Structure 1
């Protein structure tokens, strides 16, 4: 029987994706906020994954803001930085790396393949639902995003592995010191 936490992790991500894409910067952002709380209190913990979520969120916000500046995306009323709802999607993606998407970490080609396919699909579907402009066109945007995400997903799994090991070493040191 599948682990309930893995299923919850996947469902929380999907609900958050829908809330962010359909709700934008509105009260619907409470959905991913609550999903993050559930994740940290039931699926994992802030100590185990807080650094990963913050790092991925900041890196993703920087990447999407850079792509916005390059003219890959256009957001109504957003000219400099990626909107908050998109940043929240990065936080939610981070919660899946050690859980529902953990199977894609090894071998690394799985992460690259998932990124090359899932990244562009998520952006193109999200653009259609959220009214995000794709000035390069859907096909060209998808091809560019496929190349970017084929690199991004393995990199994100690298962050996850690094922080998981740091947490494991910290926990081991605490047990040894009796703290």
Structure 2
């Protein structure tokens, strides 16, 4: 039977941690986090109006305000008058040209189930008509009293005749 001979190592076993692979892994992770972090911070800036408590009294409707309503079927109404899609820009332009640039404000009230594309088209039409500021109402605005037939709601009213003595 053959005898086995063992060779003794010249140095004792080394139980220290090899740091080079550890540093390599940590640097790779650092680079990955540096690349991914800016992608996570992208957001869209939105201005949200501040809420304030208002009493529940009936607020008078200002006749000079332009309110465009969009219903579920996609029908547009300027104040209380129904307007077809083809006449929308022309009518709104007539109403806005009578005002100063700073007063060309158009508020939009859309039904919750209204088509979003039609609402965006209404926004674009208002900008084309010359609106300076566009506002979106979050609650339905009560209808203003309807103007007499044949009277343009955006027109300046004529002065009342003086009573005869």
TM more than 0.5: no
| TM-score computed with the length of structure 2 as normaliser | 0.23
In terms of fraction of residues, the more helix-rich structure is 1
Structure with more relative contact order (C-alpha pairs < 8 Å, separation 6 or more) = 1
Taking structure 1 as the reference length, what is the TM-score of the superposition? 0.22
Whose strand fraction is larger, Structure 1's or Structure 2's?
A: 2
